[in-house]
């Protein structure tokens, strides 16, 4: 039973008009795993998540979620999945408490009153429970939405950018909670644009323009990209001059400033090193080898798939 | 298995939520009760299909006693009120063109002479028939009134009496509404029109509002079935409808003293089936439109023809046959037959079985179409 993956979809395809938004996506998430779902804006993350919880019908492909067919058993899936939408989609003209009551009622939770009460306590919103949800700040809306979608103790959480606009402390608490839930056997698929969040996932899946282009642990994805990263240090005047010269130089694919430091990335390690050494010598910067970050890899993947699209 | 497809608890949750939202939307809520009352007062008092005391101008160069007799007879019909009793032909022409008068009565200068000679006297009545209903009642009473007036005036009382005795008299009984009071016809009809406008419009926005605000995605991702969602949306509006019905009926009684000769429970049952058909129609509109604006437009697209073809504005049997067939597709048509039948004629269940059945079929068919149309997904 638990050997069976929580999510297993194959060849998932979705078109809107003649635009293929999700193209032949196959993806597996094991039970108890926290899977990151990453990709540029408009790459099809939200659409894929909707396909997985039966909110959209795929044009091709099939999938089993929590042991149920996504085409035929959407109702059963809905009972066991908590889906947090990207855009706040609870009722702004209901109070916090009324929204939670509504959710509890739809799932027919036993002792609904008590569950709502506890959720309010956990959230720290007990004193504001009579406040209209629409009057909450963006971050609080996110926290309310998350609390609402785990109230029925789902087996799988589908979170679509759950921490967009949430402050760092709340974000950390949120991730602690996610890890605690996963430890108890809950499976989580979470889409995000934050690199630090991607690194907190057990495995990540990277989608670009509807196609899944990378997957694995963070280390695997970084290693697979085969990138070389070098670091130039010096005064900010030196590095900015170096940056200008390195842009478009032989073997240099990415140039990024981090404070006074300069990050250069490329696939062809030898060519990159040659260019960087020349420029470092000319500008008086110090050159050291560095570790490739996930962000470097994603930017690489993004431009690669953009090229493929053309 | 059944409980998985339909749960009263879930329905209760949906209804509670919808009611709270309805209550919070103060403006809409006020409109739901205020608009019916306003419309009832406005239309009830304003609409009159048999208008009386319409302004008229008189062009009579020689004001002899025959002319005066004619004018008095016309005024006595209650249809004419001579606001310009001594106008010139040109003045009268201007007045009718401007719409200041609805009629111009011209009595030629040789009228008296011709009457005396026993010739064929002629008077001309020009009616502003740009609105035909203004003219009809006034004109229909005319020839008889004029003839009798003249006979009397020429001292032929006996002859007039004899003519009345020997000639064929057609007896007309205005049944159910002997005085032909327009409001008796309009006010029960208004009940249908008001219900139709508010019920269809309100429910037609119920789902589109969720789509527009993005809450639909969340609602669909939770375990509520299409039937539960539909009932959750329409039950609160049924209750609003019930309140509207009570308001309109009480007001009809208090303000217009509309007679109520039939069975109240039969009327209420009919109203219930009608309102049911309406809210489901509204809900159907809601499932096909993407925005509240579209829903509104669809509602009016439906509302106007039903107003014109149902027999509310114009007599149903007076329409060409094809229009009557078309009229049959509107629930309002059947409701009007039912409500007028029960309120004014004291019709019993057997009498109104046909319109009642028609309304029931509407409700059932619309439910089927709606549940088939409902998108369980966001596609
Ligand atoms: N209902 C729809 N009809 C037509 N096109 C759609 C629809 N929903 C999404 N799209 C298109 O599909 C593409 C993918 O959208 P999607 O929301 O899945 O991207 P995403 O990866 O979630 O982006 P983001 O990071 O900005 O949230 C976009 O180009 C979008 O315009
Ligand atoms: Mg998205």
pLDDT in tens, B241-291: 888 888 888 888 888 888 788 888 999 999 999 999 999 999 999 888 888
pLDDT at A160: 95
Atom of ligand 1 nearest to the CA of A207: 21
- Name which of B5, B9, B13, B26 to mutate to probe chain A: the one with the most chain A Cβ atoms within 10 A of its Cβ: B13
Distance A40 CA to ligand 2 centre (A): 9
DSSP secondary structure letters along B108-166: -TTHHHHHHHT-----EEEE-TTSHHHHHHHHHTHHHHHHHHHHHHTT-HHHHHHHHHH
Contact flag A94-B224 (C-beta cutoff 8 Å) = no
pLDDT(B33) > 90: no
Residue from B293, B278, B282, B256 nearest B334 by CA: B278
Distance A9 CA to ligand 1 centre (A): 19
Name the closest-CA residue to atom 18, ligand 1.
A44
pLDDT at B81: 86
* CATH 3.40.1710.10 domain span(s) along chain B: 54-175
Q: How far is B365 from chain A (nearest CA, A)?
A: 26
So where are chain A's domains? 7-222, 228-291
Q: Calculate Rg over the CA atoms of chain B.
A: 28
> Given its phi and psi angles, is residue A21 left (phi above 0), alpha (psi -120 to 50 degrees) or beta?
alpha
Of the CA atoms within 13 Å of residue A209, those in its CB half-sphere come to 11
pLDDT(B237) > 50: yes
Atom of ligand 1 nearest to the CA of B378: 1
CA gap B194, B208 in Å, rounded: 22
pLDDT at B36: 82
Residue-averaged pLDDT of chain A:
91
Ligand showing the shortest atom-to-Cα distance for residue A37: 1
Q: What are phi and psi of B102, to 5 degrees?
A: -95, -20
Please state which of the ranges A103-107, B125-129, B356-360 shows the lowest mean pLDDT: B125-129
CA gap B102, B80 in Å, rounded: 9
Atom of ligand 1 nearest to the CA of B379: 1
pLDDT(B168) > 60: no
Mean pLDDT of B162-182: 60
* Residue with tokens 């004291």, as numbered in its chain: B346
Q: Which CA distances in Å does B70 have to B79, B106, B159, B341, B357?
A: 14, 11, 18, 40, 53
Contact flag A74-B9 (C-beta cutoff 8 Å) = no
* Residue with tokens 């644009």, as numbered in its chain: A193
pLDDT at A144: 92
CA gap B375, B217 in Å, rounded: 11
CATH topology of domain A228-291: Alpha-Beta Plaits (3.30.70)
Strands of A19-29's sheet in order across = A19-29, A7-16, A60-65, A68-69
Distance A11 CA to ligand 1 centre (A): 18
Is the pLDDT higher at B256 or at B8? B8
B15 to chain A: closest CA residue = A102
Strand pairing class (B80-84; B54-59): parallel
Find residues 144-183 of chain A whose CB sits inside 8 Å of chain B. Answer: none
Contact flag B377-A56 (C-beta cutoff 8 Å) = yes
pLDDT classification of B1: cutoffs 50, 70, 90 = very low
CA gap B275, B359 in Å, rounded: 9
Distance A83 CA to ligand 2 centre (A): 13
pLDDT in tens, A88-101: 999 999 999 999 99
Mean pLDDT of B234-238: 91
Q: How far is A12 from chain B (nearest CA, A)?
A: 15
pLDDT at A309: 62
Name the closest-CA residue to atom 8, ligand 1.
A47
Name the closest-CA residue to atom 17, ligand 1.
A46
Please state which of the ranges A152-156, B54-58, B334-338 shows the lowest mean pLDDT: B54-58
A85 to chain B: closest CA residue = B218
Q: Which residues contact B186 (CB under 8 A, 6 or more apart)?
A: B43, B44, B47, B49
* Residue with tokens 């995605």, as numbered in its chain: B217
Ligand showing the shortest atom-to-Cα distance for residue A47: 1
Contact flag B223-A107 (C-beta cutoff 8 Å) = yes
pLDDT at B17: 95
CA-based diameter of chain B, in Å?
A: 96
Q: How far is A95 from chain B (nearest CA, A)?
A: 10
**Which residue among B4, B13, B221 sits closest to A102, beta carbon to beta carbon?**
B13
Please state which of the ranges B165-169, B226-230, B259-263 shows the lowest mean pLDDT: B165-169
Contact flag A89-B377 (C-beta cutoff 8 Å) = no
CA gap B200, B211 in Å, rounded: 18
CA gap A48, A208 in Å, rounded: 12
Residue from A273, A270, A283, A288 nearest A244 by CA: A283
Distance A236 CA to ligand 2 centre (A): 37
Distance A81 CA to ligand 2 centre (A): 18
Is residue B81 within 8 Å of residue B55, measured between CB atoms?
Answer: yes
Q: Tokens standing for A205? A: 């899946």
Residue B107 DSSP label: -
Q: Give the rounded percent of residues in chain B with a pLDDT score beyond 70.
A: 87
CA angle, corner B308, sides to B302 and B314, nearest 5?
160
Name the closest-CA residue to atom 3, ligand 1.
A16
Q: Which residues of B touch A87 (CB under 8 A)?
A: 214, 217
Q: Which residues of A touch B21 (CB under 8 A)?
A: 91, 93-94
Flag whether residue A93 sits within 8 Å of chain B, measured between CB atoms: yes
pLDDT(B216) > 50: yes
CA gap B344, B346 in Å, rounded: 6
pLDDT at A305: 76
pLDDT(B49) > 80: no
pLDDT at B132: 67
pLDDT in tens, B284-331: 998 888 888 999 999 988 888 998 899 888 888 888 899 899 999 999
Q: How far is B22 from chain A (nearest CA, A)?
A: 10
Mean pLDDT of B57-65: 84
Q: Which residues of B touch A102 (CB under 8 A)?
A: 13, 16-17
pLDDT at B163: 55
Which protein residues touch ligand 1 with a CB less than 6 Å away?
A: A 16, 21, 39, 41-47, 86
pLDDT at A1: 47
- Name which of B9, B11, B218 to mutate to probe chain A: the one with the most chain A Cβ atoms within 10 A of its Cβ: B218
Report domain A7-222's class: alpha beta
Ranges of residues in chain A with a pLDDT under 70 are 1-3, 307-310
* Domain covering B54-175 in this structure, CATH number: 3.40.1710.10
């Amino acid at each position: 039973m638990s050997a069976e993956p929580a999510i297993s979809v194959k060849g998932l395809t979705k078109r809107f008009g003649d635009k293929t938004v999700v193209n032949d996506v196959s993806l597996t998430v094991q039970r108890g795993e926290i899977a990151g779902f990453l990709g540029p804006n408009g790459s099809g993350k939200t659409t894929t998540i909707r396909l997985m919880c039966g909110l959209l019908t795929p044009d091709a492909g099939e999938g089993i979620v929590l042991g149920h067919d996504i085409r035929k058993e959407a109702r059963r899936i809905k009972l066991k999945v908590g889906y947090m939408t990207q855009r706040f989609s609870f009722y702004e003209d209901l109070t916090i408490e009324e929204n939670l009551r509504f959710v509890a009622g739809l799932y027919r939770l036993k002792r609904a009153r008590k569950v709502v009460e506890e959720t309010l306590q956990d959230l720290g919103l007990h004193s504001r429970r009579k406040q209209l949800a629409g009057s909450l700040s963006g971050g609080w809306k996110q926290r309310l939405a998350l609390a609402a979608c785990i109230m029925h103790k789902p087996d799988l959480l589908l979170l679509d950018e759950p921490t967009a606009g949430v402050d760092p402390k709340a974000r950390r608490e949120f991730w602690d909670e996610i890890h605690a839930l996963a430890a108890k056997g809950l499976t989580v698929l979470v889409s995000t644009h934050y690199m630090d969040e991607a690194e907190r996932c057990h495995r990540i899946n990277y989608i670009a323009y509807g196609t899944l282009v990378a997957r694995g642990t963070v280390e695997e994805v970084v290693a697979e990209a085969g990138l070389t990263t070098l670091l130039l240090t010096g005064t900010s005047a030196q590095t900015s001059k170096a940056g200008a010269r390195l842009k478009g130089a032989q073997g240099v694919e990415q140039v990024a400033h981090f404070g006074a430091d300069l990050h250069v990335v490329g696939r062809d390690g030898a060519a990159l090193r040659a260019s960087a050494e020349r420029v470092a010598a000319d500008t008086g910067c110090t050159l050291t080898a560095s570790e490739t970050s996930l962000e470097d890899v994603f930017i690489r993947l993004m431009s690669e798939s953009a090229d493929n699209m053309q | 298995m059944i409980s998985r497809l339909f749960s009263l608890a879930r329905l209760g949750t949906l209804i509670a939520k919808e009611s709270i939202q309805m209550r919070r939307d103060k403006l809409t809520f006020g409109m739901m009760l205020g608009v019916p009352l306003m419309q009832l007062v406005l239309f009830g008092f304003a609409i009159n299909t048999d208008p009386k005391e319409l302004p008229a101008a008189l062009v009579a160069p020689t004001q002899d006693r025959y002319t005066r007799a004619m004018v008095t007879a016309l005024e006595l019909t209650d249809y004419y009120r001579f606001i310009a009793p001594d106008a010139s032909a040109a003045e009268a022409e201007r007045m009718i063109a401007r719409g200041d008068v609805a009629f111009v009565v011209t009595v030629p200068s040789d009228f008296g002479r011709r009457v005396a000679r026993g010739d064929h006297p002629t008077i001309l009545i020009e009616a502003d028939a740009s609105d035909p209903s203004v003219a009809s009642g006034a004109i229909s009473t005319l020839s008889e009134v004029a003839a009798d007036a003249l006979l009397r005036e020429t001292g032929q009382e006996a002859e007039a009496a004899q003519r009345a005795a020997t000639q064929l008299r057609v007896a007309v009984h205005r049944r159910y509404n002997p005085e032909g009071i327009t409001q008796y016809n309009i006010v029960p009809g208004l009940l249908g029109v008001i219900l139709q406008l508010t019920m269809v419009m309100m429910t037609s926005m119920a789902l589109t509002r969720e789509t527009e605000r993005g809450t639909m995605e969340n609602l669909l991702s939770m375990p509520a079935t299409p039937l539960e969602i539909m009932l959750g949306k329409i039950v609160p509006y049924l209750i609003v409808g019930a309140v509207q019905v009570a308001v309109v009926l009480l007001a009809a009684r208090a303000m217009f003293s509309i007679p109520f000769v039939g069975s109240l429970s039969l009327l209420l049952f009919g109203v219930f089936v009608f309102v049911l058909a309406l809210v489901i129609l509204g809900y159907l509109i809601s499932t096909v439109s993407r925005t509240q604006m579209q829903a509104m437009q669809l509602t009016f697209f439906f509302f106007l023809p039903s107003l014109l073809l149902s027999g509310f504005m114009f007599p149903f049997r007076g329409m060409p046959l094809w229009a009557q067939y078309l009229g049959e597709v509107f629930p309002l048509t059947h409701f009007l037959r039912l409500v007028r039948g029960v309120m004014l004629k004291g019709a019993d269940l057997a009498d109104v079985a046909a319109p009642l059945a028609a309304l029931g079929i509407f409700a059932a068919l619309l439910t089927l179409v709606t549940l088939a149309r409902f998108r369980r997904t966001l596609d």
